Amino acid sequence: MSATSGPLHGERPRMGWLSRAMSSRSTKRFTANRPAVVGVVVLMTLVLLALLGDSVAPYPPNSQNLDETFLAPFSSGHLLGTDNLGRDVLSRLIAADRVALFAAATAVVVAMVVGIPLGFIAAYFGGWVDVVVQRATDALQSMPPLMLAIALLGAVGPGLTNAMIVIGLVFSPAFLRLVRASVLEIMSEPYIEASRSIGTPALRLVLTRILPNALPPVLVQVSIVMGIALIAEASLSLLGLGVSPPDASWGLMISQGYNFLYQQPWLVVLPGITLALAVLALNLVGDGLRDSVGRGGDTGGDR
Amino acid sequence: MPDPNHDEQPALAVEHIGVEFGKGPRRLRAVQDVSFEVATGRTMAIVGESGSGKSTLARAISGLVPLSAGSVTVRGKDFTRPTRAQRRHVQMVFQDPYSSLDPSSTIGSSLAEPLIVHERMGRRDRGERIKELLDSVGLPQDAAGRFPHEFSGGQRQRIAIARAIATRPEVLILDEAVSALDVSTQNQIMGLLNELQEQHRLTFVFISHDLGVVRWLGDQTLVMYMGHAVESGPTERVHSQPEHPYSQALLSAMPVPDPSVRALRGRTLLRGEPPSPYESPRGCIFASRCPAVIDVCHTVLPPVRTSAAGGTSICHLETSGSFAPVLQTQA
Amino acid sequence: MSSSVPVPVIKVEDLTVEFRISGDWVPVVTGVSFEVHRGHTLAIVGESGSGKTVTSMAMMGLLPGRQSRVSSGRIEFEGRNLIGLRRRELNQIRGGAVSMIFQEPMTSLNPAFTVGDQIAEVVRSHCDVGRREATRIAITKMDAVGIPQAARRARAFPHEFSGGMRQRVMIAMAVSCEPRLLIADEPTTALDVTIQAQILELLRDLQEQQGMSMVFVTHDLGVVAEVADDVAVMYAGNIVERAPVDKLFANPRHPYTAGLLRSMPAGARDRSATIYSIRGAPPKPADFPPGCRFAERCPAVRTECVESIIPPIELGTSRMVRCLRHDQLATSEGRDLHA
């Protein structure tokens, strides 16, 4: 099946995990899960819109037209209507999409960069290191996350980037605990003991045996944490601590639109629906990943 | 490769090994004062029930668990705290074929690991060696590109054995390596082990609770109870003429696949359960359950007695059959 | 209609169980038939995947509902078909007249309740007594199964017991209402051999005292020889041979039975010879061949063996074999088949 030259048959290079992942059982299980696939489609649409952004939006998102305020959806020239300053809602939603995805991505990356290494260190070294990390995490988690975020933003100053970094920090315990539990579980598996008895050096053990088995279940959480981050961003922007006007963000649009609820309820409903859809899609994908990446299959049938 | 000049030296020598965990009131003596030697190409079978310490002993010999006392010597060289390079000489095969291979890596990757750690081989040579190893355990060469979940338990155990012999070790420690397999598969694996032992002059330390398997594979048998080696000797002798009351009880408890002996069999039934591993009784460890116990057993450690037919046992009673009839009538 | 032949305690007739595998219904147990009379023990022996556990679960109506179903056959307990009984009627019989013990006592006992409470609960639901009386009975049963200091231990939780003791608790629970039939699914497989000997003796004593019948599922031929009056050997979802225990061991008529017996390690190894093992592995339910399911591993196979399903062949009273060549094995030459 493979030539005798080139990468050795059976000894795949380490990046081969990607090609393996694509054809694996997990992928097949995922694609059989219809809600998850729908979620992926919605997400990809959102990502596409974010990337294409300005070229797809009919109008510049911040351009005002005081002659055409409070237009309803399906009005001529404005598919989703306009807001109190005559700005096209559709264009603003698309701009907000880009903001949202950037925000969520930033938050999740920060959460992972902080949470994953600490979780791994706590599990791998154990002892007092583990105790210190865990108690610090307990302290962080004892405060309501949004309150904590607001307090920290008070210290570093508002703004979208700061907000998302803070959100990332506040949600890092989620990854930390997950990684810690996952690594602890893997470390007690016989194949790790087998590697130790072979004499495999610690670094190699961690990189080739522990992490590839411990991380996938954790990465499943990325999707779900992104959903939470989105809502957090919307909340902070609603409170005026994230995105500031005139820029668009779903949360900000809801907050501003709330003032005009009687004149044009769509100004609240449309960004609300979009936000909900995005979070739902992320959750569906997360659930699908969790169900398909789970370690099942072997029931020890030889006895 | 074994040095022909050192053939008289035992492949493995274990002296007064002790393994302890914890401190103070939670101190657990998992293994106490165990010694034995195994000649090259022979098998030492270690048999015992749960709590006997046999698995801890296995891990102590292979260096996975630190010794609290005693020493391990492999072919004359100290192996008590093995360096990474030394580990190539003693390898282990574990009980559960379903979790002793990394599920996220190919078989080839698992087999390559000992080669990468211990040999300086190029990729192509490694590939050749992997093919050789697969062949020697009766698996097809395309197995290298597949994953553990694609194989049955028996096949996975073959892979585990292939991995263990990759560095051409002196000693192989097999911890209940066939216990999780069906009887037909068990026999296939035992046949393979026999073959490999003959071909490569491997020395085995075979841990099991299954006396039938032990009798077949072991040249010597060591019977363990609560961390102590209560009897040892040539396998045939220990199985046909056990001298320690615990060995007798263990052997008589083993169900025999012959219904006609059912009625005739006098069986030694042990009463009660083993004591807590945290306790350290003053006298014989087996005193609380021994059907032939006498007063001195509770207060004085039993001496080591040598058996005329080979081997030793630790017991206060005179051996060679004097209490064997007594035990047999207690049905 | 009066009959001098007593009704068997349990009679399974032509039982077929199907599992849903990848969307299709696949038979995993086919045409299983046996009966057990009062006070007798039937051992169902087979390796993993043989269908022995599925059979025992089917008898108790414990198969998982969505993925499995009994597609044909009868399971008669004292003449009454259990299949198709409503849940309430089944629950009256289960735990009372018919009870079951399993391999893993730790997962079969509820960790959140004391063992005394758990046994008393069974007693209350089947023996129609009040709480205090049920607790008293529970303690009596714990004592009867050899748990020391039963009154005190009844207030302990499952995790405070060792494996052997937990299995005794399970047995106490199972025999608390003096069942007529006990189904034991590998009850001693997870136990040390000295504890196993104690448990087997206990079961034998209880059987004698209460006149209880047993269906004992195991993979261990040694245990079969110890406990069984009759044996049913299962392979790939079929009973391939059924016989009284002494006849089965002395004179097996199915090549698989002969192979299993020959596989028992006996004595020391002969280093130059190869140990006997049945080559190959059992087929999975989705891959059951149309003819004899053992054919590809059988040393006595002939062309007619693979053509169609082998019917059960009665060999006198209480003996059955599914093999077209069973005569072969009756002779001493045949017994060397596996040589």
For C85-143, the pLDDT digits (tens) are 888 888 888 878 899 998 887 788 899 999 999 999 988 888 778 889 999 999 999 98
Instruction: Answer yes or no: is pLDDT of C55 > 90.
Output: yes
Tell me how close the Cα of A209 comes to any Cα of chain B, in angstroms: 7
Question: Are residues A300 and B104, on separate chains, in Cβ contact within 8 Å?
Answer: no
C219 to chain A: which residues are within 8 Å by CB?
303
Question: What percentage of chain B exceeds 70 in pLDDT?
Answer: 92
Residue with tokens 């088995």: A213
Element (H, E) at B327: helix B324-328
Q: Which residue has the higher pLDDT, B319 or B25?
A: B25
For A134-186, the pLDDT digits (tens) are 999 999 889 898 888 888 888 888 778 888 888 899 889 989 999 999 999 99
How would residue C1 be classed by pLDDT, with cut points 50, 70 and 90? Answer: very low
B183 to chain C: which residues are within 8 Å by CB?
47, 219, 260, 263-264
Q: Write down the pLDDT at residue A32.
A: 78
What does the alpha-carbon distance between residue C170 and residue C158 come to, in Å, rounded to a whole number? 10
Question: Are residues C49 and A301, on separate chains, in Cβ contact within 8 Å?
Answer: yes
Nearest to A213 among B102, B118, B145 (CB): B102
User: Is the pTM above the cut of 0.80?
Assistant: yes
Task: Establish if C286 belongs to a structural domain.
Answer: yes
A302 to chain B: which residues are within 8 Å by CB?
97, 152-154, 180-182, 185
Name the residue in chain A with its Cα closest to that of B155. Answer: A302
Does the beta carbon of C112 lie under 8 angstroms from any beta carbon of chain B? no
What does the alpha-carbon distance between residue C301 and residue C298 come to, in Å, rounded to a whole number? 5
Question: What percentage of chain C exceeds 90 in pLDDT?
Answer: 45
Element (H, E) at B235: helix B235-240
Instruction: Answer yes or no: is pLDDT of A299 > 50.
Output: no
Name the residue in chain A with its Cα closest to that of B124. Answer: A8
Name the residue in chain A with its Cα closest to that of B95. Answer: A190
Quote the mean pLDDT of chain B.
87
Give the long-range contacts of residues C150-155, CB within 8 A, separation 24 or more: C153/C115, C153/C116, C154/C114, C154/C115, C154/C116, C154/C119, C155/C114, C155/C116
Provide the domain count of chain C. 1
Q: Write down the pLDDT at residue B268.
A: 67
| CB-count burial class (<10 Å; 0-12, 13-18, 19+) for B28 | middle
Residue with tokens 């059988």: C298
Q: Write down the pLDDT at residue C89.
A: 86
Cβ(B307)–Cβ(B237) below 8 Å: yes
Choice among A58-72, A97-111, C159-173 with the minimum mean pLDDT: A58-72
Question: Are residues B87 and A198, on separate chains, in Cβ contact within 8 Å?
Answer: yes
Instruction: Answer yes or no: is pLDDT of A302 > 60.
Output: no
For C265-286, the pLDDT digits (tens) are 777 777 666 778 888 888 988 8
Instruction: Answer yes or no: is pLDDT of B191 > 60.
Output: yes
Tell me how close the Cα of B21 comes to any Cα of chain A, in angstroms: 16
Q: Which residue has the higher pLDDT, C84 or C119?
A: C119
Choice among A294-303, B87-96, C106-115, C323-332 with the minimum mean pLDDT: A294-303
Preferred mutation among C53, C226, C284, C298 to probe B, highest tally of B CBs within 10 A: C226
Cβ(C81)–Cβ(C75) below 8 Å: yes
Question: Are residues C222 and B256, on separate chains, in Cβ contact within 8 Å?
Answer: yes
Instruction: Answer yes or no: is pLDDT of B321 > 60.
Output: no
Does the beta carbon of A28 lie under 8 angstroms from any beta carbon of chain B? no
Task: Establish if C111 belongs to a structural domain.
Answer: no
Does the beta carbon of A302 lie under 8 angstroms from any beta carbon of chain B? yes
What does the alpha-carbon distance between residue B49 and residue B76 come to, in Å, rounded to a whole number? 31
Token readout for B7 is 């053939």
Does the beta carbon of B212 lie under 8 angstroms from any beta carbon of chain C? yes
How would residue A5 be classed by pLDDT, with cut points 50, 70 and 90? Answer: very low
Binding-face residues of B in 141-160 toward A, CB within 8 A: 142-145, 149, 152-154, 160
Instruction: Answer yes or no: is pLDDT of A17 > 80.
Output: no
Q: Write down the pLDDT at residue C331.
A: 64
Strand order in the sheet with B12-21: B28-38, B12-21, B69-74, B77-78
Q: Which residue has the higher pLDDT, A54 or C135?
A: C135
Over range C17-40, report the average pLDDT: 92
Parallel/antiparallel/unpaired status of strands C238-244 and B304-306: unpaired
Task: Establish if C305 belongs to a structural domain.
Answer: yes
Nearest to A209 among B62, B102, B181 (CB): B102
Question: Are residues C264 and B257, on separate chains, in Cβ contact within 8 Å?
Answer: yes
B145 to chain A: which residues are within 8 Å by CB?
1-2, 9-10, 12
Q: Write down the pLDDT at residue B330.
A: 32
Does the beta carbon of C296 lie under 8 angstroms from any beta carbon of chain B? no
Over range A53-57, report the average pLDDT: 78
A193 to chain B: which residues are within 8 Å by CB?
64, 94, 100
* Cα–Cα separations (whole angstroms), residue B121 to A8, B113, B128, B130: 13, 12, 10, 12
How would residue B184 be classed by pLDDT, with cut points 50, 70 and 90? Answer: confident
Task: Establish if C338 belongs to a structural domain.
Answer: yes
How would residue C237 be classed by pLDDT, with cut points 50, 70 and 90? Answer: very high
Torsion of CA A259, A262, A264, A270, to 10 degrees: 70
Q: Please name the chains neighbouring B, where neighbouring means 3+ C-beta pairs under 8 angstroms.
A: A, C
What does the alpha-carbon distance between residue A293 and residue C49 come to, in Å, rounded to a whole number? 26
Tell me how close the Cα of A36 comes to any Cα of chain C, in angstroms: 20
Question: Are residues B106 and A193, on separate chains, in Cβ contact within 8 Å?
Answer: no
Q: Write down the pLDDT at residue C336.
A: 58
How would residue A111 be classed by pLDDT, with cut points 50, 70 and 90? Answer: very high
ipTM given for this complex: 0.86
* Cα–Cα separations (whole angstroms), residue A227 to A231, A274, B221, C161: 7, 12, 62, 46
Task: Establish if C136 belongs to a structural domain.
Answer: no
A107 contact partners, CB below 8 Å, separation of at least 6: A164, A165, A167, A168, A171, A225, A226, A229, A232, A233
Q: Write down the pLDDT at residue A20.
A: 56
Q: Which domain holds residue C303?
A: 253-265+275-339
Q: Which residue has the higher pLDDT, B260 or C269?
A: B260
Over range B257-261, report the average pLDDT: 82
How would residue A297 be classed by pLDDT, with cut points 50, 70 and 90? Answer: very low
Quote the mean pLDDT of chain C.
88
Choice among A176-185, B5-14, B108-117, C267-276 with the minimum mean pLDDT: C267-276
Instruction: Answer yes or no: is pLDDT of A245 > 80.
Output: no
Instruction: Answer yes or no: is pLDDT of C299 > 50.
Output: yes
Question: Are residues C228 and B249, on separate chains, in Cβ contact within 8 Å?
Answer: no
Name the residue in chain C with its Cα closest to that of B240. Answer: C267
Name the residue in chain C with its Cα closest to that of A303. Answer: C48
Question: Are residues B181 and A191, on separate chains, in Cβ contact within 8 Å?
Answer: no
Q: Write down the pLDDT at residue A54.
A: 76
Does the beta carbon of C308 lie under 8 angstroms from any beta carbon of chain B? no
A120 contact partners, CB below 8 Å, separation of at least 6: A179, A180, A183, A211, A214
Over range C150-174, report the average pLDDT: 90
C264 to chain B: which residues are within 8 Å by CB?
183, 212, 257
* Residue C24 exposure: Cα atoms within 13 Å on the Cβ side: 6
How would residue A8 be classed by pLDDT, with cut points 50, 70 and 90? Answer: very low
Binding-face residues of C in 130-149 toward B, CB within 8 A: 148
* Cα–Cα separations (whole angstroms), residue B73 to B62, B81, C243: 11, 10, 54
Over range B167-180, report the average pLDDT: 94
Distance from chain centroid for Cα C295? 25
Tell me how close the Cα of B134 comes to any Cα of chain C, in angstroms: 18
Question: Are residues C265 and B216, on separate chains, in Cβ contact within 8 Å?
Answer: yes
For B273-313, the pLDDT digits (tens) are 777 778 778 888 888 888 888 888 888 888 888 888 888 99
Over range B210-218, report the average pLDDT: 90
Binding-face residues of B in 241-300 toward C, CB within 8 A: 249-250, 252-262, 267, 269-270, 272-273
Nearest to A197 among B87, B127, B154 (CB): B87
Question: What percentage of chain B exceeds 90 in pLDDT?
Answer: 57
